[in-house]
Amino acid sequence: MLTCYTFGAVPAFAQGLVRDLRVRWAMEEAGLPYDVRLVGEDIEREDYRRTHQPFGQVPAIEEDGFQLFESGAIVLYIAEKSEKLAPRTPEARAKVQQWAFVALNSVEPHLGELVDIDIFSAEEDWAKQRRPAAVKRTEARLDLLAAKLDGRDYATGAEFSVADILLATALKELRHTDLIDRRPVLMAYMERCFARPAYRKALADHMAVFERQPEPA
């Protein structure tokens, strides 16, 4: 049985975004059972950092003594278990890996910069100064991505793959902006991905963890 490590409590802005969602979604698509351990509850955060994830971040997984961290590496590992997540021919798999790297390397860093500016560093002067240029850069990247995805159901073409788990969840990081809503191709792509039953189940289970949190006083 695969165990996914994640946080049991995060600020509201992060709920629905924490990257254990990628692991849950991949496991649901593959139709494989898994369980969850909560960092800070089931395992002390410092113990977790020493034994599972060198930066103390989530997610990490463990399966029969095998440990892995980095959400991209984890979902690609899960894709090894199921053809539903990646085709088996070397060329088709390479295309899936290409799009996984697009998500993690060519898209997510742009969005991460905007999340930092808008959420983590919103009150900093440097963030206010940098925002217009960061938005411009992000918009340019989104436009090129939309042009490439136009006419495709999923990143590699007609078939859903693990790359879509990475790309759609990366794009979701912009949910506090209207940058996706203003791009119909990306909007339709995300709606298509997020309508999948495996995503709905993964999201419900992800959110259920936070629903245990007491209401703030």
Ligand X SMILES: N[C@@H](CCC(=O)N[C@@H](CS)C(=O)NCC(=O)O)C(=O)O
- Residue 75 vs 180, nearer CB to ligand X: 75
Q: β-strands 60-63, 34-39: how paired?
A: unpaired
| Cα 73 to Cα 7, 22, 51, 166, distances in angstroms | 19, 11, 17, 11
* Shortest-Cβ-distance residue relative to ligand X: 57
User: Going edge to edge, which strands form the sheet with 66-69?
Assistant: 34-39, 2-7, 60-63, 66-69
Instruction: Tell me: does residue 71 bind ligand X (CB under 6 A).
Output: yes
Q: How far is the CB of 188 from ligand X (least distance, A)?
A: 25
| Cα 172 to Cα 17, 31, 44, 181, distances in angstroms | 7, 23, 29, 11
CA distance 29 to 161: 9
Query: Using an 8 Å Cβ cutoff, are 67 and 101 in contact?
Result: no
- State which of positions 15-34 bind ligand X (CB under 6 A): 18-19
CA distance 163 to 127: 31
Residue 178 dihedral angles phi and psi, to the nearest 5°: -105, 20
- Residue 54 vs 184, nearer CB to ligand X: 54
Instruction: Tell me: does residue 52 bind ligand X (CB under 6 A).
Output: no
The structure tokens listed for 7 are 């946080």
- Binding residues for ligand X, total number by CB under 6 A: 8
Instruction: Tell me: does residue 56 bind ligand X (CB under 6 A).
Output: yes
**Position among 5, 57, 62, 99 found at the interface with ligand X (CB under 6 A):** 57
Instruction: Tell me: does residue 70 bind ligand X (CB under 6 A).
Output: yes
| Helices of type H across the chain | 20-30, 45-51, 71-79, 90-101, 108-115, 125-149, 162-172, 184-194, 197-211
Considering only the stretches 50-58, 76-84, 184-192, 193-201, report the one whose residues sit in contact with ligand X under the rule CB under 6 A: 50-58
CA distance 74 to 80: 10
- Residue 165 vs 180, nearer CB to ligand X: 165
Considering only the stretches 51-59, 155-163, 180-188, 205-213, report the one whose residues sit in contact with ligand X under the rule CB under 6 A: 51-59
Instruction: Tell me: does residue 54 bind ligand X (CB under 6 A).
Output: no
**Position among 58, 78, 115, 145 found at the interface with ligand X (CB under 6 A):** 58
Considering only the stretches 27-35, 56-64, 87-95, 176-184, report the one whose residues sit in contact with ligand X under the rule CB under 6 A: 56-64
- Residue 147 vs 207, nearer CB to ligand X: 207
Interacting residues with ligand X (CB under 6 A): 18-19, 56-58, 70-72
